[in-house]
Amino acid sequence: MNPADPASVIALTQASLQVKKNKTEVLRILDDALANSPDSPELIATYGLYAETLLNNAQIAEAMYRRSIEINPKNPTTINNLASLIENVNRTEASRLYNMALALGHFDVLCRLRSISMEVQHFGSGGDCSREEDREKAAGAAAAKLLTTALTLEPNNAHVLLNFGALMEDWAENYALAKEIYRKVCQFSPMALRIDPENLNAVAYFSRTLRKEGQYEKATAILKRSLAKHPSDNTLRRELWRVNAQIKIENEKKVRVG
């Protein structure tokens, strides 16, 4: 590994992020690379991502993201990473950063803007229960508008589609539309409509709507089929547990009634 070659160092770091190993060695290589290329915004941002993801050091990660943005203020991925990092401590700046990333073409951030919009509108007016339903409707409408804009810009963006499906499922309670959106993303749709056949979140979301509709047998079959390929996926395992728990509750009700 040549520390004077930022591209190879970034590639090594990204591989390490995938397997979550070799922390000490990769950190040493990153330090050497930064010593050779102290003004490389991509390398600095990669160091920040490494610090955030594997070292769990938010302070170093934030400093690296900010330094990278100072050098290259037009990298939407780094701006998005910084916004995501500080969102829980500074929602105002996070929202500003998300909008910056959006202006630079990073459409996935609309999903986070949707969440911030819903939370701010839902909790921003205090504890007035009489207006809670109106705030919920307004928040959902604002979120739907953001996601619709995102889909206009990138109609095949799987991340945005999943967020829109979740909004239709949880806010509008339109399970039929939610399932159609999830189908578009994952393997349940015809080949021409498949966007991300291995998107396990889409599988879990689709199964969740089936569970809410009481279609436990279908939900179980879909989850088990995916778990056969991805047995360690916690999202799928958690949803299967929820389906089984709901089946148990329904069976207990039948016993009591019978």
pLDDT (tens digit, 9 = 90+) per residue, 150-174? 777 678 777 778 878 887 887 788 8
pLDDT for residue 243 is more than 90: yes
pLDDT for residue 193 is more than 60: no
pLDDT for residue 78 is more than 80: yes
- Greater confidence (249 vs 23) lies with 249
How many domains is the chain built from?
1
Of all residues in the chain, the percent with pLDDT exceeding 90 is 19
Domain span at 174: 156-258
So what's the pLDDT on residue 136? Answer: 65
pLDDT band per the 50, 70, 90 thresholds, residue 228: very high
In this structure, is residue 131 part of a structural domain?
Answer: no
In this structure, is residue 40 part of a structural domain?
Answer: no
Q: Are 240 and 224 in contact (CB under 8 A)?
A: yes
- Greater confidence (72 vs 133) lies with 72
In this structure, is residue 72 part of a structural domain?
Answer: no
In this structure, is residue 54 part of a structural domain?
Answer: no
In this structure, is residue 241 part of a structural domain?
Answer: yes
Q: Which residues fall within 8 angstroms of residue 155, CB to CB, at 6 or more apart?
A: none
In this structure, is residue 116 part of a structural domain?
Answer: no
Say whether pTM exceeds 0.85.
Answer: no
At 239, which CATH number? 1.25.40.10
In this structure, is residue 188 part of a structural domain?
Answer: yes
pLDDT for residue 55 is more than 70: yes
Q: Which residues fall within 8 angstroms of residue 19, CB to CB, at 6 or more apart?
A: none
So what's the pLDDT on residue 239? Answer: 92
So what's the pLDDT on residue 88? Answer: 75
So what's the pLDDT on residue 19? Answer: 45
pLDDT band per the 50, 70, 90 thresholds, residue 51: confident
| Integer Cα distance of 236 and 244 in angstroms | 12
In this structure, is residue 145 part of a structural domain?
Answer: no
pLDDT band per the 50, 70, 90 thresholds, residue 123: very low
Of all residues in the chain, the percent with pLDDT exceeding 70 is 72
